[in-house]
Structure 1
Amino acid sequence: MKFLFFFLMISFNSFCLESNDGKMNITAKVIDPLRVVHNGDIEFGNVFRGSSNTSSRHGFTIYGEKGQNIKVSLNEKNLNAFSNSIPLKHESSNNEISVNVINISDYSESTKLDKNGEFHYDFDAELIVPKDAVLGKYSGTLIMNVTFQ
C-alpha cells in the first residue's frame, strides 16, 4: 500500500511538473513610409472665355521602401483610366469648367517603387473654357492616393 501511495505521489508530481507551452513567433520589418510630393500647383492665370490653355510637365513623385508594390490612383481612379477631367468650381456659384489630365506615359494600376524607392507620375494639363463660362475664379483639386499592396 505504501508502495502504491509512493508511486501515485511520483506520478502526480510528474504530471504537475510537466507543462505544455504554445509558442508563437512574432516578426516585423520596419520600412520607409509612403510620401507623395508634387512639383508645384497648376496656375493657368487669366484665361479668356472660349479659349484653351495647356500646362506641361506636372507630376507627383512617390517615395517609400525600395521594390515595394504600390497601388496608385488619381481622384480615386486608376492612372490609365483617368481620362476624366478635373472639375474646377466657380468661387461663388455652382458653375464648373474642366481641366483634362493627359498622361505622359502608360501606367498600370499596380506598380513597384524603383531601386531608389521612387515612382514618378508625369502629366500635362489642358483647360478648355466654354464661351458661356461665368466670369470669376475657379479652383479644383487633384489628389494622388498611394497604398502599399
Structure 2
Amino acid sequence: MKISQDTALGTLFVAIGVAALLMALQYPMGTANRMGPGYFPLIVSALLSLIGAAIILRGRLGDAKLIEAIRWKPLAMVSAALVAFGLLIEGLGLPLAVFVLILGAALASDRFGWSGKATLGAAVFAGVCGLVFVRFLGLPIPMAGAWLKALGGF
C-alpha cells in the first residue's frame, strides 16, 4: 500500500497534537483572562491536530505525491546533527552548538556546498539565536560553554 506524503505528515501532526493535548490536560487551564500553565499548550496542540486532519483530508481528496523510497543519509545526518547539538550545548555554548547543528544538517542536502557565504550565514544565525534566547529571553543556556571557559578568556 502506497501512502501519500500529505497523509504521512498529517498523521504525524495529529499524533503529536493529541499527545501534547493529553499532556496539557495535566496542567490547570485557568480562564482566558487568567491563563493557567495548560491553556496555551492546549490551544496549540488542538490547532496542530486540526491542521494535521486538514492535511490528511487534502491528501485523500487531492492528487498527493506518494512517498518514494526513504532517503536514509539525510535522515541519519539531520538526526546526528540534533544529537551533536544536545551533546555540545553545555560544553561549547548555544551559538557554537547551533553553528554545528546548522552545518551538520546542511550536509544532509545534496545541493549543499561549502562556501564563505553559507558559513557566514550559519555563524550569523547562531549569534542571533544566542542573543534572542539567552540575552533577550533570559533562558539559562550558556553563551560560552564549560569547555571554552576552561580554555580561558570566556
Answer 1 or 2: higher relative contact order, Cα 8 Å, separation at least 6. 1
More helix by share: 2
**Would you call these one fold, judging by a TM-score over 0.5?**
no
Q: From the two aligned structures, give the one with the greater strand fraction.
A: 1
TM-score, scaled relative to structure 2 = 0.19
